[in-house]
């Protein structure tokens, strides 16, 4: 199948959907900042994109395996429910917002927040992440191999954020602790799978800190008796 | 100042929650009169010739536009805020009347989908700031998607579904964990700038393969500016929710104070439509809040709306005795509407309640037809502000229509 060489978002997506329906991988090359590419991909879809994506790349992914060899705009993997999204570059604001399942791997930095109001799934960021990572987070895991911006875990209620670098500051209701043995096993598993850049030996895993919620209901306090 | 309220705050230090419409007096549609046709341009129409009241949304951009057989719709009430019986009644009644119902946040019950299949019901799926219960399949399953630009309490506050009020069934439908509160952010977490609305419209169009219309729902605030942004974002309809629209379990100060009344929306909305050429683009204007009888619906249509939402009237039609408000947030609704308690829910026969809703919508549509005929129109699409007169100076100033007696638009509207 020839790689998609269309210029309009609508046409690119239609070509991708056609290949997915045929059960074939859908390669797209020369992407130049197009928004909303490969959204709502179903289980079994394989989409490989080269170039730079605009906003909402792979949003609402419902089980597809999507790879972007380039940088992503804002809100990549937005409200993703299943599947895998691999970004071999940097991502702008808001990776994995509202995520409900699946896995996102960012090989570079996230320039803004990530995983806000996330309910499940895993986001791995091999570089740094911006402010308010995991705000309102209810479940799932975020792994940051670099540093976080300010107010990490702001008003989170569930889930966990693992940070290898510096936590600039903690958000309301967020607390720091050491990862458990089980947590370290999970981190090793993902390192084996994705090869984190900053991890060269096993001892480096000891640098990770874990951010969790102080209380499961930070906004109104404990339930009335 | 209310002395008792000051004392209550002094004693408790707590904000009071409320359900329903504002209690204070607001300028309303009663300040407008309808002008029957005689010699000024047209004659009355014979009602038996048939008056068209259907409305099509998305005819220029959606492969399957949404057709309402009457200029009416039922805004969404999330499962949890109302029970299953009420949800089914809304779906069934609106399907019988040929109009659409909103799902509210939190997904759609399988029984509602079955009603839609069996009775050709039309659902409008919510894309709100919390996204609870939203999945790609859900978004693709509806007949339209509405981007709600604000969360709980018209965007004025961060909302919460407290864990004490949520049930296992609700958590299952919404795909949510139990044992914690569910946050409703005041704004979308994937909308950095107002102009990002355009990206959301594009996202939802791509997801649905351009099949269904995309709507934007706004609380009535900076109407002219915000309606323009919405239109320029490429939506098929702009839905303005007025201050009179009920809120359920919101801070009382938000219920009473946040937003503009219905009467004040039409002038700036019409101006935004004119400046953007929205009518030529096929964009529709929807309004909701405080409407319930044929005269009010007619006036809203003549002022520029294409269809009106009936959130509180729909509750009354299916059996609410509190005027669509009251103590809905307690979860102990005696009519079995605003509750998920199975014992209370069982009081509401959804099929009978749905039939009552359909009866109400049919009668309302007939009233609109009667008034359209009386004002010389064979279709509600021909209604205009010329069919109305303001009875007060204030109403003329708020709406930009002619003041009765003066028979002209106030000078402030002449430029």
What mean pLDDT comes out for the span A68-72? 97
Q: Is B408 helix (H, G, I), strand (E, B) or coil?
A: strand
What mean pLDDT comes out for the span A119-147? 96
Interatomic CA distance for residues B96 and B337, integer angstroms: 20
Quick one: what percent of chain B has pLDDT higher than 90? 68
pLDDT at B338: 87
Domain-wise residue ranges, chain B = 47-381
Q: Which residue of A has its CA nearest to B140?
A: A40
User: How is A63-74 classified by DSSP, letter by letter?
Assistant: EEEEEEES-B-T
Q: Which of B139, B158, B181 sits opposite A217 (nearest CB)?
A: B181
Mean pLDDT of chain A: 92
| Of B257, B170, B265, residue with least CA distance to B227 | B265
Spell out the residues 6+ positions from residue A164 whose beta carbon is closer than 8 angstroms to its own. Answer: A144, A145, A146, A198, A199, A204, A207, A208, A209
Whether residues B164 and A74 touch (CB distance < 8 A) is answered with no
Q: Which residues of B touch A40 (CB under 8 A)?
A: 136, 139-140, 206-207
Q: Is A224's pLDDT higher than 60?
A: no
Q: Is A102 helix (H, G, I), strand (E, B) or coil?
A: coil
Q: Which of A14, A40, A223 sits opposite B163 (nearest CB)?
A: A223
pLDDT at A193: 87
User: How is B36-79 classified by DSSP, letter by letter?
Assistant: --SSSS-----GGG--B--EEESTTT-SS-EEESSSEEE----B
Interatomic CA distance for residues B57 and A145, integer angstroms: 48
Domain-wise residue ranges, chain A = 1-103, 121-217
User: How is B154-221 classified by DSSP, letter by letter?
Assistant: GGTS-EEE-GGG--HHHHHHHT--SSS-EEE-SS-TT--SGGGHHHHHHHHHHHTTT-S-EEEEEESS
Residue B37 in contact with partner chain A when CB distance is under 8 A:
no
Helices B197-207 and B223-232, packing angle to 10 deg:
40
pLDDT at B340: 86
Q: Is B231 helix (H, G, I), strand (E, B) or coil?
A: helix
Helix (H) or strand (E) holding A14: helix A9-21
Whether residues A36 and B202 touch (CB distance < 8 A) is answered with yes
Question: In B71-109, which ranges are continuous DSSP H helix?
Answer: 84-97
Which tokens is B26 given?
Answer: 């607001």
Q: Which residues of A touch B140 (CB under 8 A)?
A: 40
pLDDT at A1: 44
Spell out the residues 6+ positions from residue A107 whose beta carbon is closer than 8 angstroms to its own. Answer: A86, A87, A88, A89, A126, A127, A197
Interatomic CA distance for residues B112 and B89, integer angstroms: 9
Which tokens is B84 given?
Answer: 């299953």
Whether residues B135 and A62 touch (CB distance < 8 A) is answered with yes
pLDDT digits (tens, 9 = 90+) for A95-114: 999 999 999 999 999 999 99
Q: Which of the residue ranges A100-104, A156-160, A209-213, B317-321 would you say has the lowest mean pLDDT?
A: B317-321
Confidence bin at A209 (pLDDT 50/70/90): very high
pLDDT at B392: 97
Interface with B, mutate which of A53, A56, A153, A171 (most B CBs under 10 A): A56
Superfamily of domain B47-381, CATH level 4: Aldolase class I (3.20.20.70)
| Of B234, B73, B194, residue with least CA distance to B142 | B73
pLDDT at A2: 47
Q: Which of A78, A81, A224 sits opposite B135 (nearest CB)?
A: A81
Residue A22 in contact with partner chain B when CB distance is under 8 A:
no
Quick one: what percent of chain A has pLDDT higher than 90? 84
pLDDT at A180: 96
User: How is B329-372 classified by DSSP, letter by letter?
Assistant: GGS--TTSSS---HHHHTT--HHHHHHHHHHHHHHHHHHHHHHH
B80 contacts B104 by C-beta, under 8 angstroms: no
What is the pairing mode between strands A103-106 and B66-68? unpaired
Which tokens is A94 given?
Answer: 């808001």
What mean pLDDT comes out for the span B108-124? 94
B350 contacts B92 by C-beta, under 8 angstroms: yes
Between residues B173 and B408, which one has the greater pLDDT? B408
> Hunting for tokens 């958000």 — which residue is that?
A171
Confidence bin at B299 (pLDDT 50/70/90): very high
What mean pLDDT comes out for the span B232-243? 96
Q: Which residue of A has its CA nearest to B182?
A: A138
Interatomic CA distance for residues B188 and B197, integer angstroms: 10
Helix (H) or strand (E) holding A31: strand A26-34
Helix (H) or strand (E) holding B102: strand B100-102
Q: Which residues of B touch A138 (CB under 8 A)?
A: 176-177, 180, 182-183
Helix (H) or strand (E) holding A30: strand A26-34
Q: Is B413 helix (H, G, I), strand (E, B) or coil?
A: helix
B101 contacts B76 by C-beta, under 8 angstroms: yes
Q: Does domain A121-217 have CATH number 2.160.20.60?
A: yes
Q: Is B249's pLDDT higher than 80?
A: no
Whether residues A60 and B207 touch (CB distance < 8 A) is answered with yes
Q: Is A221's pLDDT higher than 70?
A: no
Using only the alpha carbons of chain B, give its radius of gyration: 21
Whether residues B203 and A59 touch (CB distance < 8 A) is answered with yes
CA distance to A175, B359, B365, B375, B383, per residue, from B380 (Å): 60, 20, 11, 10, 5
Whether residues B192 and A93 touch (CB distance < 8 A) is answered with yes
B101 contacts B94 by C-beta, under 8 angstroms: yes
What mean pLDDT comes out for the span A175-200? 88
Interatomic CA distance for residues A113 and A180, integer angstroms: 25
Whether residues B202 and A35 touch (CB distance < 8 A) is answered with yes
pLDDT at A225: 39
Q: Which residue of A has its CA nearest to B210?
A: A10
- pTM recorded for the entire structure: 0.94
> Hunting for tokens 């951009």 — which residue is that?
B61
Which tokens is A120 given?
Answer: 């499940």
Interatomic CA distance for residues B286 and A106, integer angstroms: 42
> Hunting for tokens 């959804």 — which residue is that?
B350
| Of B232, B176, B233, B226, residue with least CA distance to B203 | B233
Beta bridge pairs of residue A161? A142, A211
Q: Is B155's pLDDT higher than 60?
A: no
Q: Which residues of A touch B135 (CB under 8 A)?
A: 62, 81, 100
What mean pLDDT comes out for the span A40-53? 96
Interatomic CA distance for residues B24 and B163, integer angstroms: 32
Confidence bin at B27 (pLDDT 50/70/90): very high
pLDDT at B360: 98
Angle at B16 between CA B10 and CA B22, to 5 degrees: 125
Spell out the residues 6+ positions from residue B153 whose beta carbon is closer than 8 angstroms to its own. Answer: B159, B247, B250, B251, B254, B255, B258
pLDDT at B2: 85
According to DSSP, residue A146 is labeled: S
Q: Is A152 helix (H, G, I), strand (E, B) or coil?
A: strand
CA distance to A74, B99, B220, B266, per residue, from B359 (Å): 48, 12, 30, 29
Interatomic CA distance for residues A152 and B241, integer angstroms: 35
Q: Is B218's pLDDT higher than 50?
A: yes
Helix (H) or strand (E) holding A86: strand A82-87
| Residues B213/B214/B218/B223 CA torsion (nearest 10 deg) | -80
Mean pLDDT of chain B: 92
Residue A57 in contact with partner chain B when CB distance is under 8 A:
no
Helices B350-374 and B84-97, packing angle to 10 deg:
40
Q: Is B165's pLDDT higher than 80?
A: no
Residue B190 in contact with partner chain A when CB distance is under 8 A:
yes
């Amino acid at each position: 199948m020839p790689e998609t060489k269309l210029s309009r978002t609508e046409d690119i997506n239609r070509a991708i959907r056609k290949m997915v329906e045929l059960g074939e991988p859908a390669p797209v090359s020369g992407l130049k900042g197009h928004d909303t590419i490969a959204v709502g991909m179903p289980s079994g879809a394989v989409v490989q994109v080269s170039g730079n994506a605009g906003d909402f790349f792979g949003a609402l992914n419902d089980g597809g395996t999507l790879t972007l060899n380039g940088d992503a705009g804002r809100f990549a993997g937005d409200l993703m429910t299943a599947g895998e999204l691999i970004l071999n570059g940097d991502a702008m604001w808001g990776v994995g917002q509202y995520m409900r399942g699946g896995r996102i791997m960012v090989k570079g930095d996230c320039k803004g927040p990530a995983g806000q109001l996330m309910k499940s799934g895993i986001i791995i960021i091999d570089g740094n992440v911006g402010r308010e990572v995991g705000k309102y987070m209810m479940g799932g895991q975020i792994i940051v191999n670099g540093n976080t911006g300010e107010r990490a875990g702001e008003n989170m209620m569930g889930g966990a954020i693992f940070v290898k670098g510096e936590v600039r500051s903690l958000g309301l209701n967020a607390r720091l602790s050491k990862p458990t043995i089980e947590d370290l096993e999970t981190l090793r598993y993902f390192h084996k799978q994705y090869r984190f850049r900053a991890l060269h030996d096993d001892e480096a895993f000891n640098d990770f800190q874990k951010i969790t919620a102080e209380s499961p209901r930070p906004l109104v306090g404990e339930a009335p008796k | 100042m209310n002395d008792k309220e000051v004392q209550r705050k002094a004693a408790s230090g707590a904000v009071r929650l409320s359900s329903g419409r504002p209690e204070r007096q607001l300028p309303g549609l009663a300040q407008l009169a309808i002008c029957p046709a005689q010699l000024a341009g047209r004659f009355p129409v014979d009602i038996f010739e048939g008056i068209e009241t259907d409305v099509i949304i998305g005819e220029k951009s959606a492969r399957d536009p949404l057709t309402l057989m009457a200029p009416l719709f039922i805004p969404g009430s999330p499962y949890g805020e109302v029970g299953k019986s009420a949800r089914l009644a809304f779906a069934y009644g609106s399907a019988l009347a040929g109009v659409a119902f909103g799902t509210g946040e939190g997904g759609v019950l399988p029984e509602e989908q079955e009603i839609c299949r069996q009775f050709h019901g039309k659902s409008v799926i919510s894309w709100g700031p919390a996204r609870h219960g939203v999945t790609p399949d859900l978004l693709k399953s509806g007949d339209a998607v509405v981007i709600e630009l604000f969360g709980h309490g018209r965007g004025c506050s961060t909302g919460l579904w407290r864990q004490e009020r949520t049930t296992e069934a609700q958590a299952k439908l919404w795909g949510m964990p139990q044992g914690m509160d569910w946050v409703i952010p005041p704004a979308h977490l994937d909308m950095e700038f107002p102009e990002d609305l355009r990206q959301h419209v594009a996202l939802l169009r791509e997801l649905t393969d351009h099949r269904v219309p995309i709507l934007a729902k706004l609380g009535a605030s900076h109407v002219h500016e915000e309606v323009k942004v919405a239109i320029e974002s490429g939506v098929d309809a702009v839905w303005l929710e007025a201050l009179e629209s009920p809120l359920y379990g919101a801070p009382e100060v938000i219920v009473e104070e946040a937003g503009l009344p219905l009467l004040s929306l039409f002038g700036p909305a019409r101006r935004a439509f004119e400046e953007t050429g929205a009518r030529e683009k096929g964009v529709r204007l929807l309004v909701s809040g405080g409407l319930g009888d044929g005269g009010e619906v007619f006036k809203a249509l003549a002022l520029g709306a294409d269809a009106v939402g009936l959130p509180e009237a729909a509750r009354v039609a299916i059996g609410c005795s509190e005027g669509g408000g009251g103590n809905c947030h307690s979860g102990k609704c005696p009519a079995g509407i605003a509750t998920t308690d199975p014992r209370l829910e069982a009081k509401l026969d959804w099929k009978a309640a749905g039939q009552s809703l359909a009866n109400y919508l049919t009668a309302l549509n007939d009233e609109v037809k009667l008034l359209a005929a009386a004002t010389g129109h064979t279709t509600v699409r021909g209604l205009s502000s010329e069919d109305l007169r303001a009875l007060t100076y204030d109403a003329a100033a708020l709406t930009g229509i002619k003041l009765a007696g003066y028979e002209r638009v106030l000078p402030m509207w002449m430029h």
